[in-house]
């Protein structure tokens, strides 16, 4: 499954559920899924197609499952009182860093 094959957040979850049942023995499935979803969010955020609230929801669910130092960077970008374009760029940078972990 490639990021460009996913057309919506709902489509992502449908595909992730299907992949889970096929690959439930794969130890790092959730890591791969979260990285894929992160890529998807970065792509949608760059296009301006995904509201920041949806990214905040993803961050909350991700934080509940993982200890990730870039969550704080994301939160700093989200809470800063900067212009929306600069704030968006900070969030994208933090999300990109997640993929590298």
Nearest CA to 63 out of 79, 75, 45, 49 is that of: 75
Average of per-residue pLDDT across 12-28: 49
pLDDT of res. 25: 40
Angle at CA of residue 95, ends 92 and 97, nearest 5°? 115
Average pLDDT, the chain: 54
**Residue matched to tokens 């792509």:** 43
Confirm if 1 and 36 have CB atoms less than 8 A apart: yes
The Cα–Cα gap between 38 and 1 comes to: 14
User: In the structure encoding, which two tokens stand for residue 56, read together?
Assistant: 């905040």
**What pLDDT, on a 0 to 100 scale, did the predictor assign at position 81?**
46
pLDDT digits (tens, 9 = 90+) for 43-84: 555 555 555 566 566 556 655 555 555 555 555 555 544 455
pLDDT of residue 6: 52
User: What is the rounded average pLDDT of the residues 7-30?
Assistant: 50
Residues 36-47 pLDDT 10s:
555 665 555 555
Q: Is the CB of residue 71 less than 8 Å from the CB of residue 87?
A: no
Residue 8: DSSP 8-state:
S
């Amino acid at each position: 499954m490639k990021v460009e094959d996913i057309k919506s957040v709902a489509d992502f979850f449908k595909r992730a559920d299907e992949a889970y049942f096929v690959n439930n023995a794969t130890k790092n499935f959730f890591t791969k899924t979260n990285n894929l979803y992160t890529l998807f969010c970065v792509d949608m955020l760059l296009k301006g197609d995904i509201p920041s609230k949806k990214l905040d929801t993803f961050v909350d669910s991700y934080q509940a499952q993982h200890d990730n130092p870039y969550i704080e960077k994301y939160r700093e970008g989200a809470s800063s009182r900067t212009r929306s374009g600069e704030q968006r760029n900070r969030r994208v940078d933090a999300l990109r860093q997640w993929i590298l972990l």
